[in-house]
Amino acid sequence: MPQVKNTYVLLLFLWLIFSLTFAGASHETSLTSPQPSVREIVSRLAERNRERAESLRGFHGRRLYRMRYRGFFGSRDAEMTVELTYTSPDNRHFTVVSENGSKFLCDHIFKSLLDGEKEAMSRENRERTALNAENYDFQLVGREGSEEDPLYVLNVVPKGDNKFLYRGKIWVDGKEFAVTRVEAEPAKSPSFWIKKSKITHSYEKVGDFWLPAADNTESLIRLGGRAQLSIEYKDYEITETAPLNDPASQPPNH
């Protein structure tokens, strides 16, 4: 079971890459109508991510962690509710509100995730895993939504082997240039014991900022079995901000 612990700690770290992105789709439309190039989309996305991260100085929130494991090591379930207080640039204080289910999962998985978040959000790791052209290759593969509210769909492929990088698809809001959804897998397997993993992230707009709404990771274990891990984010309260430019006031990229 210690190997399984390490595996899921690494997998769940992946969601942290997006937690300071600050950053639904309807029918697909064709790519024949005018739209920015992939280079322009990525440039605006990186710029707006940086501006939102600098502007968000503090917030409170609540998270619900859930894990369900069925397989070679038996059956285990656990839940943990945590309150988070964030102050810029990377100070995060966690308070465990409640724990239910497997004590092993609570003590060795969930609490390890809280400790590991500090590592993932260090300045060095943020720079090495930021969603930009230095760390990823991008390909524009589609557009969803309406002409007035487009969502650009991009394939992303990592350029390095940092354990927090991923490969998959992202959905970018065409007005605010924020990531609204991610469907991905780890760029490299975090452990021999993991056969395959699928990770899904979604974001919601809170005030002027796009914050995590839900994370889900489903993994197939090499020895047999399946594990599902999720994080639900709620009760956000923005406590401190700096002025943030209005994206509508910036010249469009066409």
| CA–CA distance, 136 with 42 (Å, rounded to integer) | 10
Answer for the pair 13, 164: CB distance below 8 angstroms, yes or no.
Answer: yes
pTM given for the model:
0.80
Residue-range domain boundaries for the chain: 2-247
Q: What are phi and psi of 135, to 5 degrees?
A: -105, -15
Instruction: State the Cα–Cα distance between residues 25 and 40, nearest whole angstrom.
Output: 21
C-alpha 64/C-alpha 235 separation (Å) is 11
Residue by residue, pLDDT tens for the chain (254 residues) are 444 444 344 444 333 333 334 333 333 334 445 679 999 999 999 999 999 999 999 999 999 999 998 887 789 999 999 999 999 887 889 999 999 999 988 998 888 888 877 777 777 777 888 899 999 999 999 999 888 889 999 999 999 877 788 899 999 999 999 999 999 987 776 666 667 788 999 999 999 999 999 999 988 877 778 889 999 999 999 999 999 876 655 554 44
Closest among 166, 146, 130 to 22, alpha carbons compared:
130
